[in-house]
Chain A
Amino acid sequence: MSKARTLADYVGGGTTATEFDVLDGLTSTTAELNILDGVTSTAAELNHVDGVTSNVQTQLNAKAPLASPALTGTATAVNLTVSGDLVPSTPMSHRNIIINGAMGIAQRSSVAFAHDGTIAGYSEVDRYRLETDSLGEWDGTLTQHDMTSAELNTTGFAKALKLTTGTAESSIGSNDIAYITQKIEAQNLQHLQYGTASAKTVTLSFWVKTSVAGTYSVGLYKSDSSARNITATYTTTGTGWEYKTITFAGDTDATATIVNDNGEGLRLFWNLASGSTYDSSENTSWHNYANASFAGGHAQDGIITTASATFLLTGVQLELGSSATQFEHRSYGDELQRCMRYYETSNGNLWGYPITLQTGLTYRRCPIYFKVRKRSAPTTVTSSANVTVTGHQSVDIDGFTAYFDAIAQGNYCEVSYWTAYSEL
């Protein structure tokens, strides 16, 4: 017989044994039962805590409010519709500090670097330059690569910059170095606030494909005032296109100021080979330039020491912030205009005939006006189908004048080709 039944027998009255049986097995104290005193919630409402495994208030406190939430991490969303103002801390457009990051502009013809003691110069792809020092045997090319459909599918880019080694350097001496670089104009970098406590972090992203797997270094170099630099490393598998992102802290050192002018502000560079003079110490934070750390961390020299080795690069973006965003694709025309500030050519088309000979003068003059104002008074080159250009004059950021000796060469003359460049 249960205790409840015994109790019912004892109490008698109107309480049934079944009703007392409800209390069978009860272990709660009166105080515990009294917690329910005053509860007005329904069973359905209490069931809303079904499945809760930790403190509800703690969980609620960790949630962002609907009104003015201050998110501290990286928010992701499938779609985002903003009905009011969107105010990002980094730019949504014109983010990419790099010109021709998609490698689409190639105003020069194929560029081959013969080994003539000085191996350096701009590539077929605008704004990218090869720099070397002390290489004794190497030669190669720096050209624009047409991506295959599969490469386009992988990277999202139709063009790339391609370095191909012809004659390989048999070994890398201590003073040897080779790197691809883009020099960035100083007045386009003032928003980085280098040299102040507010110096901005930047993130570099790029696609790379190397025929030789290994550890490579990439870095920034500032030549203004006191030279400064920083590097980071990345590895490649040597099997296909790989996407890399690297974040560089802002340089707050007082000597880090980038002079606000039309000179070189920063040099972004990808090392291809480096001797011990340049890579003997790590350099993962900004510091005063030293040869030993220029290529700090670089380990793989095989691109330069292997015949037919290749190094391909595209989708280069350098932007404010500590996260890489989607590449900012710009139109061909937009990017071409940017490139023309540093290099412009008549593209092989007949440019024009000189102005009629002035009375009493022996020269004919052919004024040439640039489509885009140049960074500085440029270096100019012309060619003519039937005469020798005697000289250039009034060379300035907006154009120049080619002139001919009409008496010596005849009145008929033309400028069939011209180039003006004011590269950094």
Chain B
Amino acid sequence: MYTELKYIKTTIPKEETILRCKIEDVLSFVSLDPANSDYAEIMRQVDAGELTIEPADE
């Protein structure tokens, strides 16, 4: 369901990070909010070793 996961970091207009991925093959941006059900499920799968997230470019 979740593929091509990568953190995206931006600095303008403010420094922030978001999670870019494909959900059912659709490019999506997932807020790093524990109440976001996608983020919660992704982190559950990461913790279970089923998913990995590519770190943000420096």
Contacts and interface: CB of A to CB of B under 8 A. Distances in A.
A119 to B, nearest CB: 10
A118 B16 CA distance: 32
A379 B30 contact: yes
Contacts of B33: 376-377
B29 A422 contact: no
B1 A118 contact: yes
Nearest to A120: B1
B53 interface: no
Interface size class of A (residues with CB under 8 A): 20 to 34
Interface stretch (A191-199, A273-281, A390-398): A390-398
Contact of B35 (A361, A375, A391): A375
Nearest to B36: A376
Interface in A291-323: none
A381 B38 CA distance: 13
B43 interface: no
Nearest to A392: B29
Given A118-B1, A381-B26, A392-B29, A376 B18 contact: no
A392 B37 contact: no
A344 interface: no
B35 A381 contact: no
Chain B interface mostly: mixed
Nearest to B38: A379
A396 B30 CA distance: 11
Interface string A349-364: 0000000000001010
**Counting chain A CB atoms within 10 Å of each CB, which of B1, B12, B18, B32 scores highest?**
B18
A405 interface: no
Contacts of A381: 26-29
A379 B31 contact: yes
Interface centre among B26, B28, B38, B39 (most CB of A within 10 A): B28
Nearest to B13: A394
A154 interface: no
Contact of A391 (B13, B23, B29): B29
A380 interface: yes
Contacts of B18: 391-393, 395
A243 B18 CA distance: 46
B28 A379 contact: yes
Nearest to B10: A393
Interface of A: 118, 121, 261-263, 361, 363, 375-381, 389, 391-396, 400, 403, 422-424
Interface of B: 1, 8, 10, 12-14, 16, 18, 20, 23-24, 26-33, 35-39
Q: Which 5 A-B pairs have the closest CB atoms?
A: A377-B31, A376-B35, A377-B33, A392-B29, A379-B38
